[in-house]
A and B are shown apart, each in its own frame.
Chain A
Amino acid sequence: MLSLKNVSMGYDEKALLKNVNIDFAENRIYALLGKSGSGKSTLLKGISNILPHMGEITLKDKPLNVKKQRLALVPQKNSLVKWQTVRQNILLPHKLRKEVAPQNLEELCAELGIAHLLDKYPGHLSGGEQQRAAIATALLFQPDILLLDEAFSALDAITKDEVHTAFLNAITKHKVTTVFVTHDIDEALYLAESIIILKNGNLLENMENPLFGITKQEKPLAYSKSHQEIKELI
């Protein structure tokens, strides 16, 4: 699906990511975990055409091209255009590509719990509602790949739990290949089918996650064990 071969990138000739090779399978959810400076956000910026890279990035066996292929990015915050309503924001990617938007906008927003906010401006929404709107924008676009850069980290604990659940339900229903960057091990354990660990710009581990979709409250011991194992690796 999405393939990275010998990918290196960085700022001002300082390589933050060194010869990384990763294959992301279709319709799976991946977490990119690592300490600050490990290169996880840099990797996402390279894939989403924000940073130049060396090496090869292909999507569906073709060189990645954001204008021709479909890619969506949800950053930590402030991803909505402030002077447009939530509805206009969600439809914006279709407008810019001169496409007819899918008819399921209202349904998708209901799934994410923001159907009542469609005619409001982002400035009138809470942080959690803004992130849900950003996720709705990305999902309605029907991307080949969805990238999230610490998309839940600015939310408070209760809102984060709510958005996690809404996000997981929406992603599994709409079957989107997803790569999300996080520094929260428990978040990775709950939301990701595979966990990729980066350390000092190198790929350290690409592991299956048996706790995917299971909350910490359901299996506290397993969570604790996996958390400790990952923490030691990082």
Chain B
Amino acid sequence: MTTEQLTQWVTDHKFNRETCRHSMNGFDTVLHCHHYATLYCQLADDAEQFNGSELLKRSAELSFLDVLSTYFTDNNVKELDDRIALAEEYWKQCGWGTLKFDHVGELSTAAHMDHSHVDEGWIKKWEKRDKPVNFIGQGYLAAALSAIYDLPAGSYTVYETESIVAGADASRFSLVRI
């Protein structure tokens, strides 16, 4: 009996010459730089009155949940360990940093990032700050855990308890089921 290796994220990349769009596993995708990502985060942070950071988290959660859930379904990925490994791998492959889940449970989960595109991009562009800024990563974590447990968007609250942008050696996150 052979065991199928499911923990390597496999990307099916296509370029449509007619529309000139790129797609990865059926989802239109695009490259952007740290200036773009950090300015989006800054705008979200500044729009405090309108819950800007929550809007950015929600945008990330909805988009990435679709990608992860579709991948799990299309590739028949059912085992918890495989799903966790793939969620970590996809984040890294896309250039958003490194993500490791410290423990995973349906009601509470902890994770950390030793490297973060948003935090390191923010420091590169401006400087350190004392508040978290990785709203995209927070949204991705909510998406990842919902995809892992086949739950809908909005199932988790994500708390960023330590941040690279604030000088910590890693960003640390706590997720709790709503």
Partners in one complex: no
